[in-house]
Copies of this chain bind each other. A is one copy, B any other.
Amino acid sequence: MEFDSTRISNMDRRYRAHLINSLSGFRSANLIGSKSLNGEENLAVFNSVCHIGAHPPLMGFILRPLTVSRNTYDNIIESGFFTINHIHQSFIKEAHHTSAKYPESVSEFEKSGLNSHYEEGFYAPYVKESSIRIGLKFEESVLIRANDTRMIVGKVQNIHISDELLNDDGWLDLSKAGTVAISNLDTYYKAELIDRLAYARPDEKVESLLKK
Can you tell how many copies of this chain the complex includes?
2
A189 near B197 with CB under 8 A, answer no
**Residues of chain A from 178 to 212 with CB closer than 8 A to chain B in the complex:** 179-181, 183-184, 186-206, 209
Q: Are A189 and B192 in contact (CB under 8 A)?
A: yes
29 CB < 8 A contacts A-B: A5-B157, A5-B158, A14-B169, A16-B55, A23-B57, A23-B134, A24-B59, A25-B28, A25-B49, A25-B86, A25-B132, A52-B62, A53-B146, A58-B149, A89-B194, A93-B195, A99-B200, A142-B142, A142-B143, A142-B151, A144-B153, A175-B189, A180-B194, A181-B189, A186-B196, A186-B209, A188-B194, A188-B195, A192-B192
A19 at the B interface (CB under 8 A): yes
A-side interface mostly: mixed
Measured as residues with beta carbon below 8 angstroms from the partner, the interface class of chain A is: 35 or more
Q: Which of A8-48 contact B (CB under 8 A)?
A: 8-9, 11-30, 47-48
Judge if A139 is at the interface, Cβ distance under 8 Å: yes
Instruction: Given A22-B174, A144-B153, decide whether A191 and B191 contact each other with a Cβ distance below 8 A.
Output: yes
Specify which of A146, A158, A162 lies most central, judged by the most chain B CB atoms within 10 Å of its CB: A146
Which 7 A/B pairs are nearest by Cβ-Cβ distance?
Answer: A25-B28, A18-B170, A22-B172, A15-B170, A189-B191, A19-B170, A26-B181
